[in-house]
Amino acid sequence: TEELLRKTEKLHVAGQLAAGIAHEIRNPLTALKGFVKLMCHANEESKLRYYHIMQEEFNRIELILGELLILAKPQAVAYMPHDPVTILEEVIQLLNTEAIMNNVEIVLIANTIHSFVNCERNQIKQVFVNVIKNAIEAMPSGGILTITAYNQANGVNLQFVDQGQGISEDRLPRIGEPFYTTKEKGTGLGMMVSFTIIEEHHGVIRYQSKLGVGTTVSIQLPSSAQ
């Protein structure tokens, strides 16, 4: 009966997710439909304005679908041993321009790592992208993001410590909920996707936060030797 319960629970989550996706996609679609109609009778000046709004709506749909597609299994799931620090370095390089533009300095402390983790490289990369982006976005007037990587008994622990606005205690449990966002242009999908990926890797992801002080995200991943 426990298995049955779990299945029902999963169906419930799938239903919620489907409802969320439908809702989030329908909004920009409704807007697009409206503007297509308006386009027919609009003068040149209005047309240009509508055109830009429509582009934004299309981008929104693309962004939501892009985030969700990460969850779709890649053609060949290739779980292989990787050094998480190498992946981290790659992601930091990728996001460094964005960080600098926001006055954020990313500091990586990782001189003792000697564990590999068995992972789907692109998925773990995506998790790091999501977590680091959130940290940058949490520090609108800049700050330091300190990332520490160290070995543990059966794996690695990665800590992302930001000096951002923090998350209040009542909001903390909502992180990872599909479409939960506090950002004007957020999708609220990044952490839902990341939690799922870490779970599939038999890892653990935890949030600790203090309003006005900052947030620490810690990710534990089992080493590939297990």
Pairing of strands 143-152, 104-109: parallel
Our CA angle for 108, 114, 116, nearest 5°, is 95
Answer yes or no: are the C-beta atoms of 121 and 74 closer than 8 Å.
Answer: no
Stretch of 35-43, 121-129, 151-159, 161-169 lying at the interface with ligand ADP (CB under 6 A): 161-169
Task: Out of 115, 134, 163, 165, point to the residue binding Mg ion (CB under 5 A).
Answer: 134
Looking at residue 62, its amino acid is E
Task: Out of 118, 148, 181, 218, point to the residue binding ligand ADP (CB under 6 A).
Answer: 181
Residue 188 sits in the site that holds ligand ADP (CB under 6 A): yes
**Distance of alpha carbon 109 from its chain centroid, rounded?**
22
Residue 126 sits in the site that holds ligand ADP (CB under 6 A): no
Stretch of 78-86, 110-118, 119-127, 157-165 lying at the interface with ligand ADP (CB under 6 A): 157-165
Give whichever of 164 and 222 is closer to Mg ion, judged by the CB atom: 164
Phi first, then psi: give them for residue 22, nearest 5 degrees.
-55, -45
Residue 178 sits in the site that holds ligand ADP (CB under 6 A): no
Looking at residue 42, its amino acid is A
Residue 190 sits in the site that holds Mg ion (CB under 5 A): yes
Count residues contacting ligand ADP (CB under 6 A)? Answer: 21
Give whichever of 54 and 139 is closer to ligand ADP, judged by the CB atom: 139
Integer Cα distance of 87 and 90 in angstroms: 5
Residue 186 sits in the site that holds ligand ADP (CB under 6 A): yes
Task: Output the CA–CA distances (angstroms, integers) from residue 222 to 28, 160, 180, 197, 226, in the order listed.
Answer: 41, 18, 28, 13, 7
3-state secondary structure of 183: coil
The closest residue (CB) to Mg ion is 190
Answer yes or no: are the C-beta atoms of 182 and 172 closer than 8 Å.
Answer: no
Stretch of 22-30, 67-75, 160-168, 188-196 lying at the interface with Mg ion (CB under 5 A): 188-196
Which residues contribute to the site for ligand ADP (CB under 6 A)? 130, 134-135, 138, 162, 164-165, 167, 175, 180-183, 186-192, 215
Which residues contribute to the site for Mg ion (CB under 5 A)? 134, 190
